[in-house]
Chains A and B, each alone.
Chain A
Amino acid sequence: MSKGIKIVSGAIVCEECKLRGDVTIGGGTIIHPSASIIAEAGPIIIGENCLIEEQTKIINKAPVGQIDNENVQELIIGSNNVFEVDCAIEAIKIGDNNVFESKSFVGNKVTITNGCIIGAGCRLTEEQTLKENTIIYGENCNMREGLDRPLPQTLQMDTLIRMLPNYHHLKKPNLVNNKKN
């Protein structure tokens, strides 16, 4: 395992996923094989109990022509986020309890707060900050406000925590969860 990758105990990180650069993965987070997390412009910190499915691409990408070593921008992703199959995330900052549905795209000028849902195939490219509980859906990226945050995928996560170690090699956690101690 290359240095710079920190996996807190309790996280399930499959061996076949691609981690590059300074990546920190919180406890209880599940990363499927063939997901890629690339810390190109700065470190990526992923919170607890996130679900990162196959073909997800989370990239910390600096805006074009702004790569400098002095001004390191880190991408902080909160807890209980779900990244569904083949979504591409280059956001500035992501809060808690968000859902990124399949094949969605979030550009590198977007800040996402809490409880947002980016619908399947929706593309967010313009500079913006999504308010809490915003739902983006449909072909034309219609926007509406949800009543509350989407429910966490507890059942699915529990099954995955049980099943994934049976069929995949896992990366060993190298950090002990400080909170519990």
Chain B
Amino acid sequence: MSNYITGPDVVKYACSCGLLKPITRLYFCRHCLELRCGFCVCHEVDSNYCGKCCENLPSAEARLKKNRCGDCYDCPSCKQNLSKRAATVGPKNPEDPKATPRKVYYLLCLNCRWSSRDVGIPDQAAATGSWPERENVHAARLQEIIEMYKGIVLAEKQQKMEKDKKKQRRFMTFTDRTGITASMLRKRIGLPDIPHPLLKPKPKEPEEAVAKEEVEEFPEELLTKPINLNEITTLEQRLNLPEWQPTTVDKLFPIHKQVSVKRSQRCRACEHNVSKPEYSPTSIKFKIQLFAFYHIPEVRIFTVEPLRAGKQCELLLKFSNPTQHQTVITFLPLFPSEDSFASKEIKELVPDEEVPSREIVIEEKQPPSLPGSQPSSLLHTSLSRTPSITVKPRPIKQAITANVELPTSNFVLLPRDDAAEFDDSGDTHNIQDDTKLVVWRKSNKAVIRLNITPLENLNIGDEVVVGFTMQHIYVNTITAVESKEPQRYNNNVKVFQYLGKIVGSE
């Protein structure tokens, strides 16, 4: 696992959007049986919370507070969390012998040791809240402008509503019949005309900003005085405080901590969630987590012989099955020359195969996202919704620099068994393996041998990339209404391996 965090990604899977990503970065939508990555799912904000105090903020409140936490602060100097520190000081009136020492609180950054005392913020008597807020000098003007725009938006909305109303009118009103409107009537009686309640006066426009011609004198001392870099803020520090943009460090004030969001990801094709975190900010668990790592067999590079252009060499790949169901892996060419032909062939092939689990019924995958496709048992009427977007598969832009000799036989991967690691009884599986293909196997893992040939025209130092389509049997555990049996499908995943660079010939 650690390799996925730190190391280079040597095995990548093709997402349905055409991007290549390591398996840990992919989701697997089990409703449309497609790989999805962070770029091809809908991201939705579930909740706002502060990462420091772990408090939930309702979205309206978060908007009001400009997406910042009211109690927690970030260091204006280095952006780390500020922690509250307690200190004891002498009593207010030292003459009084009964007075006890007071506790005061100040903010301290444990990374750069910036403290609220550095800029002269007085120590607080209470630990929470009550830190002085700084008022923006332009706050009034900004408020004015915001209000003006709000007024404009409202006026536009009303205009639209009026228009719609006029269109909708299908019936006769009293005024229509008599030809006298309410305002005419009022005038005739001699009452003042009341303005229409919906037609508010035009929003008040704030004073226009005026360009000044006189600017401040150029301070001579900028040229004469040596600069003390310790007193000047960095660009980053200035931009962290956009309202003030202080130029000297004595004007750095604590920044309210920005709130984080918990988001859920939704498949764009079928609108099912592929990832949904638990609501509580303190929880790191998920309600729904359809990560590809838990559904798609994982491929790792075991070893590869030195790569030489045009020379065949051996590649050992380790496959592991993360699911609770046995699967069969078949190799198919990466880009079938005739798509329909290839899939037809599989259809015929599969029932005749010497698959140990003979009884299983394998159905051709029919993504429910394709409108007009034949109804299959996959279309669980209760579960699937009408797709919002039909996501068309996009081409994969990855040059393949080696040919792989695809084995004609397939192999079985046993289900994952967490207890197998502690089982001393040895491997008691009785699976008839093609010894040419399967080199080693243990519990849910198997190492297989592939022969690859890097292309002739590669130079020393060129990257060797091979790819194939891995077909595996995916057992969908969503219980359908019509059939209680879990459904089995052939799922095709395109897998790419980055094997390294061409070395010189012997």
Question: Which residues of chain A come closer than 8 Å to B234, judged between CB atoms?
Answer: 142
Check if A144 sits within 8 Å of B249, measured CB to CB.
Answer: yes
Interchain nearest-CB distance for A93 vs B (Å) = 22
Check if B111 sits within 8 Å of A137, measured CB to CB.
Answer: yes
Taking residues whose C-beta sits less than 8 angstroms from the other chain, chain B's interface range is 10 to 19
**Which A-chain residue is minimally distant from B113 (CB atoms)?**
A135
Q: How many residues of A contact B (CB 8 A)?
A: 13
**Which B-chain residue is minimally distant from A147 (CB atoms)?**
B118
> Which of A119, A134, A144 interacts with B114 by CB under 8 Å?
A144
Check if A143 sits within 8 Å of B230, measured CB to CB.
Answer: yes
Check if A145 sits within 8 Å of B117, measured CB to CB.
Answer: no
Check if B118 sits within 8 Å of A119, measured CB to CB.
Answer: no
Check if B78 sits within 8 Å of A138, measured CB to CB.
Answer: yes
One digit per residue, 1 when the CB lies within 8 angstroms of any chain B CB and 0 when it does not, for chain A 132-152 equals: 001101100011111100100
CA distance A119 to B114 in the complex (A): 13
Q: For residues 120 through 136 of chain B, which have their beta carbon under 8 Å from a beta carbon of chain A?
A: none
> Which of B112, B117, B229, B231 interacts with A135 by CB under 8 Å?
B112
Determine whether B492 belongs to the interface, using a CB cutoff of 8 Å to chain A: no
Question: Which residues of chain B come closer than 8 Å to A135, judged between CB atoms?
Answer: 112-113
| Given A119-B111, A137-B113, A145-B230 contact (CB < 8 Å) | yes
Determine whether B444 belongs to the interface, using a CB cutoff of 8 Å to chain A: no
Question: Which residues of chain A come closer than 8 Å to B487, judged between CB atoms?
Answer: none
Determine whether A91 belongs to the interface, using a CB cutoff of 8 Å to chain B: no
CA distance A107 to B156 in the complex (A): 68
Question: Which residues of chain A come closer than 8 Å to B112, judged between CB atoms?
Answer: 119, 135, 137-138, 142, 144
Q: For residues 56 through 83 of chain B, which have their beta carbon under 8 Å from a beta carbon of chain A?
A: 77-78
Residues of A within 8 A of B (CB): 117, 119, 134-135, 137-138, 142-147, 150
Top 5 A-B residue pairs of the complex, sorted by shortest distance between their CB atoms: A137-B112, A145-B230, A147-B118, A135-B113, A137-B111
For the A-B complex with A135-B113, A144-B112, A147-B115 known, give 7 more contacts whose Cβ atoms are closer than 8 Å. Answer: A117-B113, A134-B230, A137-B113, A142-B78, A142-B112, A143-B230, A147-B118
20 contacts between A and B (CB under 8 A): A117-B113, A119-B112, A134-B230, A135-B112, A135-B113, A137-B78, A137-B111, A138-B111, A138-B112, A142-B78, A142-B112, A143-B230, A144-B77, A144-B112, A145-B230, A145-B231, A146-B113, A147-B117, A147-B118, A150-B113
